[in-house]
Each structure stands twice: as structure tokens, then as C-alpha cells.
Structure 1
Amino acid sequence: MRTAYQRLEERFKRVQVLRSITHLLRWDAEVLMPLGSSGIRAEQLALLDTECTAILLSKRTSVLLDRAETSIDSLPDWQKANVREIRRHWNYARAIPKRVTNSLHRATTKAEVVWRQASEENNFKLLAPQLEKVVDAVREKARLLGASLECSPYDALLEEHDPGRTSAEIDAVFQRLGKRLPGLIENAIEKQSAHPPKPITEKISKARQKELGKQIMKIMGFPFDKGRLDESLHPFTEGTSKDLRITSLFAEHDVLSGLMGVLHETGHAMYDFGLPSEWFFQPVGRDQGMTVHESQALFLEMMIGRTREFMRFAAPKIGKTFGVSGPAWDSENLYRLTTRVNKSLIRMDADEATYTIHVIVRHELEKDLFAGSLRVKDLPEAWNAKFKQYMGIAPDTDTRGCLQDSHWPQAYFGYFPTYALGAIFAAQLFETLKRELPSIMQDIQEGRFAPLFAWLNEKVYQHGARLSTGELLRQATGSPLNPDCYLEYLQGKYVDE
């Protein structure tokens, strides 16, 4: 006779299959869907979410979950963790009424389409009314979720993307970074100004850039029988380990940004592919929040991709695929181009040293939005002022300012801090990696990526959501989240080197 826990697993298998369909529809909406199809897509996504919620909140699921928790002491560790994750998902679903979920799906699907047009036309006023609807729906969700979890509305949004994280913790970390980074950035710019890299003047077709990306992904071990690379306005990763889609943004005049985008999204993808396959249909087999996910993307892009060793590996492939040669294309110049520190207006183009400033700006604006001290219509002015405060420059257009990200039209409030926290996590991993595998950078230079991903699998991938983010980091590195490790990494790479 099947136990209550076994029957609970069967119900969550259905949820996972439904959510995998949602992933495909979201990917299609960004890559292939005609603009006029946003209305029906919103209905499709809302229906799938309703079905998932119906399974989660059914009386049968509730009874099985209660019974599984009653006998939890008899379960092995993975099953115990799965019950814990199921309860977390159940609590979340119970707190948000169907009307709020459906309203949010409709608002975000329409806002994404309008955002693309507003961005192309540099017209925030076009997006503002639809973004207002998204923010209103998220405020309602945050209020309800906060009441259920007994935390502030904004902390409830953080919980969705990074379980267990609080705004107080983030604020303490960001205050530390905000004090140190401006001076570090100025020192790095001053040092690099004495030896500027040679600019790349050639235009390279998007097709060749995509071909290069696929070559490098294949060498790294990306399984193209279960995944693919496409182009979109905003790079992203969507899907599951059984069917995973990544995109990058390629520009003929900026070839290295497309490659870095490929590396970033491949970092996301390799984490997803490495999650425990035996737990694929269960919550415990999923990622442990976006701080861990972003750590894997930033680790591969920043700590591995923006190194001399990686560029020595990649330069011959770049030259052959693009049909180029000369001093601008040698590995040392490519390294200097990808580690060039400058005060960029665009987060996706930001260098490693200034990246976190972009995140801090967005985090502070989000808090103001949800505290009620900032109105949606005033976002452009507030964005420009905040950017001027931290970077000393301000956007000349909204497209290069508050319209540059798709996160807010998609209702991803509370997500941005995970980029900076993920960078800290990644720096701690990198420090541990070099200590435990002293020859790893030589392996990278010679195109041997298997040792790297085997190490990441041991330290991160295979654990799924069994451990909390804090437990995972401490087990992998021996230390809790430490912004000073990240600052020391940046200081060593960009100032002291």
C-alpha cells in the first residue's frame, strides 16, 4: 500500500509537468510569438497556473501533506526536505487567491509586449499605464503573502526568489558594498587608463556570433539534444533539464557582449542540467532560489569567462569563426576588453566592478515603489537621480535608463538583489575552487571544462533544494555570505593586479 508521502509525490509530478509547459510558453512569448498573440498567451498561462494551484490547494493534497508531516521522522533526508519544500509551495499558493494570480498573468503578458515597443521607441509613457497595473497586482500579492508569512510585503517578494532572505540582510550587505565600490571603481578606471585596449572595429554577423556561442557551449558540455540557443531582446534561460532553452542578444558592432551573454546563460543552464534527475518531478529537485542560480551564471561569465586563461582558449576559435586577425583579436587584448571598467548606463553591458551598483539602484527604487514613496509615472526621474548619485552619470534616454530591463514588466520585483548576492556567492566559490583545484585555470586555458563542472556538480548542482542557500554556501566554501570576499576579489583583479 502506498504511503501518504508517495501519493503526495505523485500529485507533485503533475504540477511539475504543467509548469514545464508554462516554461515553453514563456520562451515562445519572448522568441517566436507574434505580438498580436499576447492576449491568448495570457489566458493560457493563467489557466496553467490555475490548474497547478488547484492541485496544490486541493483537500486531498492538504490531507496527504498533513499525514506526511506526521510521519516525517521516519523519512530519509531527501524526502524530509521534499516535504518541507512542498509545504513552502503550499503556503505560497494558499496565500495568493486565483483572482490575483490571473490578474497578474494578464497584466505581465500585456506589459511585456508593450515594454518591447516602449523600449524601441524610447517612450516610458507608453509603458507606464500597463506597468502601473503590474505594480498594483504585485502589491496585492505581496500584501497577502506577507500577511501569510508574517513578514513585510517586500520581504515576501524576496522570499519568492530567494527563500529565507530579508531586506535587512540585503541592506546591510549593500551598505558595505556601496561604501567600498565607488572608490574601487575609480581606482580601477585610473589604473586601466594608462594602458587602454585596442578597440574592435569590425562588424560580425549575428549568425557567426551564434555559431561561436554554440561551439563553446558544446565544448563545455551543453547537451544540445535537450537544449538550444536562440536570440532575444533580453538574454534569458527557460525550461527544465529535460528541455532547456537559452537566448542571448547579439549585436554586430559589439561581439563580446553576445559571447558574455552566452556564457552567463550557459551558467544558468548547466546548473539546471546538473540538478538531481531522480528528483526531477519534485520541489526538492529544483534550484534553491535565484541567488544560487545567479551565482552559477556569474561564476561562468565573470570568474571563468573574463580571465586570461579563458581568452587564450577562446581567441583561436573567435579568429577562425569570425575570419579575423590582428592585435585587437589576440587573447590579451580580448581579456582587457572584457575586463575594462567604465561607468556604463546599461546593466547587461556593465563590467564586473560596476555591476553591483546597477543592482543597488534597482533595489532601492523597488523598495520606494512598495513603500509608496515612489509612483510608477515618476520612475524615469527617480532612476536618473539615483544613477547620478551612485555613478556620477545619468541616462540620456529612458531606453538606456528605466526601460532597459524586462524584469519589472514581468513582475520580477525582489529579483534584482539576487544578482549581487549571487556575485558574492560566486566569488566565494571561485576562491574555494582555486584552493581545491590548483590547476583548474590551466585546464580552462586548454579547453578542459569537465573538471570545473564536476566540481560544481559536487558543490552545488547535485544538492537541488535539499539545503538552504546559507547551508549550501557554508558546506561548499566553509563560510557564510561574505561581501568582503567579493570586494577582495575585485580589488585583486582590477586594482592590485
Structure 2
Amino acid sequence: MASKTDNYQRLEQELAKITHMRNIGMIAHWDAATGLPKESVASRNEEIATFSAVIHEMSTSGKIGQLIDASQDEVDYLDEWQKSNLAFTKKSYDSQICISSDIQHEFSLASSASEFAWRQARANNDFKLLIPYLDRVFNAVRKIADLQSQKLKKSSMDVLIDSFDPGRTSSEISDVFNVLKAQLPALTEKIIQKQKGEKVIALSKPIDEASQRAIGLKIMETMGFNMDRGRLDKSVHPFCIGSNDDVRLTTRYDENNFISSLFGVIHETGHGLYQQNLPAKYRNQPVGGPLGMAFHESQSLIMEMQAGTCQQFTQFLAKLLKDDFAFSGPEYSEENLYKLVTRVKPSFIRVDADEVTYPLHIILRFEIEKTILEDNMKAAELPELWNSKMQQYLGIVPKTDSDGCMQDIHWPSGWLGYFPSYTNGAIIANMLMRAAKGKYSEIDSELNKGSFQSLNKYLNDNLRQYGSSKLSADLLKASTGHDSVQPNMFIDYLQDKYL
């Protein structure tokens, strides 16, 4: 006898196959970024592009479409998780069905080739090498965004943003960013003036890669990351990738700046904790995945900035470095380490920026993305526009493109529309920490001992466990008490912390 949800059950079976394929695709990408032999690049580009096209074909097949339609008649018999899963799947299907396999293959091939070219171009500071690859990616992204814009009846920019941050619009992002643009420059100057009188000791002794890795692994353990379901490796650009049961993290090492590597590890571990604590029951369904990159970045930034740069955690870090790694001297005192991790100064590299100037790095990228998409800007024009906006927002101009428009992997990888999630994520992270401390007053004293127990419990109970079962505004309300991103709350936090 047929079940009243027979079509929906068959849909879940098909979605599980697609999820498994995506998981394998992510591991192929991780392998390419961490250990691929030089002469294997061309074949891997083709393999990743083909794999992506196959997944796209499966996701937009007539079979999936028919099962989605048939499942609509079974909604009354579905539980809330199943209803959310069906809605999420239909939204994804509608956004992808207008893209042919040929177009998807071209995007995948263009982005894979561009990402590999970017690694060489950045290492050699050779932007000219990257130009044709970037133009190919930009053209592919514009073509896809235009098709989806026509299908979904919204702007190309909103289409791209929604793909990374479901439910968010470019106008909403502009409203948030306008508040930051109006207040951050003056706030930054006040903090810089205040910090001028502080004595800070630079970390002068090089720390080898093996020691940095050992420190990173120890911190991952204290944060609650399960190494039996994940690992840490090295790459040009730190990232987190993989499935709920196989989370791959990477960082990069600089012997003269171990703090950069360590906080890269803390950031990516925040991503990893989100992945590892998503609802296990729905691990093979869209509803069991993370709800976009703004929430994903909130999970990394609550660990890196809200917890990692607070005085309590810095006290723990100083004790750990002394007791477990024999780091001695005034430069490793808790007071000096805190000054180092809260130093505010305009800088060229986004991932190393302090949390006060960081949003300005994102705002300039968001504005450039709109120019790329809406004005058909060519890659060759990128350095000049980048440098002018760096001057406008941060008052500095990079001497090389490697420290400028080539520093990020996102555009070579075709991820236009991703960047706003970082700053929205930073604001959400602050909102989450306020809510978490309101429920668990012991969070500060626990961080002082290197414990993330109460913080992780709050995040598990109020955000991670919901996967993608809620709309963005509803998940934000459930986890922070607010249904929209609060930039003024973030400004108040920065003023309290730094002034």
C-alpha cells in the first residue's frame, strides 16, 4: 500500500544522492587546494567542471521537478522539517532550472581554471596573467545571473546575494553598510589616537610551522572541534569545506606572524563547529545544511572576534603558550597579546584586518561587485578601481596587486555576491554573543579557562540545530531576539570595547 507521502519520500532519496555527490565534489576541491601535483591541474579542472555539470543535471532533472510537484499534494501529511525541506528544494530548483548544463559546465571550467591561475598570479604578483581567466569568470557569472534574474523577477545582484545569503537583498545590505560608512571612519581615527599612547611589544622571534600547527590543534580541541570528523591542513587561502561528518579546515603559516595563522584556525574552526553540529537526522537533505554564508560567517566570527579577541580568552592563550609551549618574555604576556589582537590600523589584507576596519574592506568589495555585474567592468580595470576605493575608505594604497585586488580567492572562484556575508556575519556574531551572555553569564569566566562549553551550547540550541529549516529572519529572531541585522548595535559594541 502506497504511503501518503510516497512522492516526497522518493524526492528525499534523490536529494540524498545529490548530497553525496556534492560532498565528494567538495573533497575533490579540497584536494586540489592542498596537495594537487602541478601537472595534474588541467585534468582536475576538467574533472571538477564535469562533476559540477553532472550534479547540476541531477538537481534540475525532469524527475526532480516531477517529484517536487507531486510532493506539493502531500504537504498536509508532512511534518515541519519536511515542509521546510520541500520549500527549500523547490526554491533551489526554480533558481537552477533556467541554467543549461552547458552554461553550468562553462562556469565550472572557467572558475576552476581561474582559481588555479590565481594561485600562480598572486604568488608572482602578475595580474596580467589572471586577466583573461577573470574575464571568463565574470562573463559566466553575468550570464547565469541574467538568466536567473529573468526567471525569478529580481535584480541580478539580488540573485547572486540570495545564493549566498538566502532572503537578503542588495538594498538591505546597502542600508546596513551606509550606517557603517557614516560612523566607522571617525570611530577608527578615535581608536587609533587612543592606542598611540599604548606600549606594544611586537613578536620578534620566528615560530616554525610545526609549532604553529601544534598550537592551532590545541586551540581547536579547546573549542570543541571533533578531530575524528575533520582535519587541519595548509593552503594558500584559509577555508572550511566538506560535509557534516567530514569537515576539512585549512590555514596558512607565516613564521614571523603566528597570530595570523592562529586566528585563521580559530575562524575556520568556527565554520567547522557549525558544520559538525547541524541536525544529524537531516544530514543528506537540503534542510540539514547551513542557512547561507551570513550565518556561517557569524559562526566563524563569533569565535575569532567575539571570543578570540576578548581579554578573558587572551589570558587563557598567554597561559597556554607559557605552560604548554614554553613561550616566555613580556611579548607573550596576556596584556601584550590582548593589545596585539585588538590593534586597530588600516591595512591591505582583509583576512588580517582588525574588526573595526574590516567592514570597510567588505564595503569596497561589494561596491566593486556591483560595478562588475551592472556596468560590465573588465578585469583589466580592477586594479585602478580597487586602489581608488582603498584610498577612499582606508586611506592607503597597496604597492602590489597581490596585496590589492588579487588577495582573495572569491572572484577567481566565481563567488560574486559572497563578500557582504562577512560583515553581516560579524554583526550577527555580536548579536549572538549578547544573547548568549544574557542566558549564560559564565561565558567570560569559561573563556578565561579555555572552555567554550556554554557558548557552544547556546549556539547549538538556538542556531546550529535548526539547519535551514527556518527563513533567515526567523532564525535570526530565534537566535538573537532581532529579526534584522543591527549595525548600530555593532557600532556600540566597538565603542565599548575600544574606547
TM-score, normalised to structure 1, is 0.98
Residue number in structure 1 paired with 2:262: 259
Q: Please say if 1:295 is aligned against 2:298.
A: yes
SS of the residue corresponding to residue 225 of structure 1 reads helix
Shift of 1:273: 0.4
Q: Please say if 1:328 is aligned against 2:302.
A: no
Q: Please say if 1:490 is aligned against 2:494.
A: yes
Aligned residues of 1:204 and 1:322 also touching (Cα < 8 A): no
Residue number in structure 2 paired with 1:69: 72
Given candidates 431, 436, 448, the residue that maps to 2:451 is 448
Shift of 1:454: 1.1
- AA matched with 1:45: I
Q: Please say if 1:317 is aligned against 2:297.
A: no
> What does 1:296-445 correspond to in 2, within 5 Å?
296-372=299-375, 374-445=377-448
Residue number in structure 1 paired with 2:273: 270
Residue number in structure 2 paired with 1:193: 196
Aligned mates of 2:310, 2:223 — CA distance in 1: 16
SS of the residue corresponding to residue 230 of structure 1 reads strand
Residue number in structure 2 paired with 1:32: 35
Aligned mates of 1:431, 1:354 — CA distance in 2: 21
Aligned mates of 1:349, 1:322 — CA distance in 2: 24
- AA matched with 1:440: I
Given candidates 115, 134, 138, the residue that maps to 2:137 is 134
Please list the CA deviations of residues 422-447 of structure 1 after superposition, one character each: whole Å capped at 9, or x if unmatched.
01111111111121111111011112
Q: Which runs of no fewer than 5 residues in structure 2 stay unpaired?
A: none
Please list the CA deviations of residues 477-496 of structure 1 after superposition, one character each: whole Å capped at 9, or x if unmatched.
2112111111111111112x
Aligned mates of 1:192, 1:76 — CA distance in 2: 55
Shift of 1:373: 5.7
Given candidates 69, 80, 84, the residue that maps to 2:83 is 80
SS of the residue corresponding to residue 87 of structure 1 reads helix
SS of the residue corresponding to residue 468 of structure 2 reads coil
Shift of 1:123: 1.3
- AA matched with 2:496: G
- AA matched with 2:490: Y
Given candidates 223, 229, 234, the residue that maps to 2:226 is 223
Let me know the Cα RMSD of the aligned residues.
1.1
Residue number in structure 1 paired with 2:63: 60
Aligned mates of 2:338, 2:445 — CA distance in 1: 16
Aligned residues of 2:350 and 2:358 also touching (Cα < 8 A): yes
Aligned mates of 1:200, 1:448 — CA distance in 2: 26
Aligned mates of 1:391, 1:228 — CA distance in 2: 36
Aligned mates of 1:202, 1:415 — CA distance in 2: 36
Aligned mates of 1:124, 1:322 — CA distance in 2: 41
SS of the residue corresponding to residue 194 of structure 1 reads coil
TM-score, normalised to structure 2, is 0.97
Aligned residues of 2:57 and 2:101 also touching (Cα < 8 A): no
Shift of 1:59: 2.3
Shift of 1:104: 1.0
Please list the CA deviations of residues 301-336 of structure 1 after superposition, one character each: whole Å capped at 9, or x if unmatched.
000000111111111222345432011101111111
- AA matched with 2:163: E
- AA matched with 2:187: L
Q: Please say if 1:286 is aligned against 2:294.
A: no
Aligned mates of 1:44, 1:231 — CA distance in 2: 23
Aligned mates of 2:304, 2:46 — CA distance in 1: 36
Aligned mates of 1:328, 1:420 — CA distance in 2: 31
SS of the residue corresponding to residue 327 of structure 2 reads coil
Aligned mates of 2:338, 2:276 — CA distance in 1: 28
Aligned mates of 1:450, 1:413 — CA distance in 2: 36
Aligned residues of 2:176 and 2:485 also touching (Cα < 8 A): no
Identity percentage over the alignment?
A: 39
Aligned residues of 1:4 and 1:64 also touching (Cα < 8 A): yes
Please list the CA deviations of residues 334-354 of structure 1 after superposition, one character each: whole Å capped at 9, or x if unmatched.
111000000111101100100
- AA matched with 1:353: V
- Count of aligned positions: 495
Aligned residues of 1:39 and 1:109 also touching (Cα < 8 A): no
Residue number in structure 2 paired with 1:177: 180
Residue number in structure 2 paired with 1:150: 153
Shift of 1:451: 1.7
SS of the residue corresponding to residue 426 of structure 1 reads helix
Given candidates 99, 111, 115, the residue that maps to 2:114 is 111
Aligned mates of 1:460, 1:263 — CA distance in 2: 19
CA distance 1:92–1:35, change in 2 (3 Å): farther
Aligned mates of 2:126, 2:322 — CA distance in 1: 39
Residue number in structure 2 paired with 1:232: 235
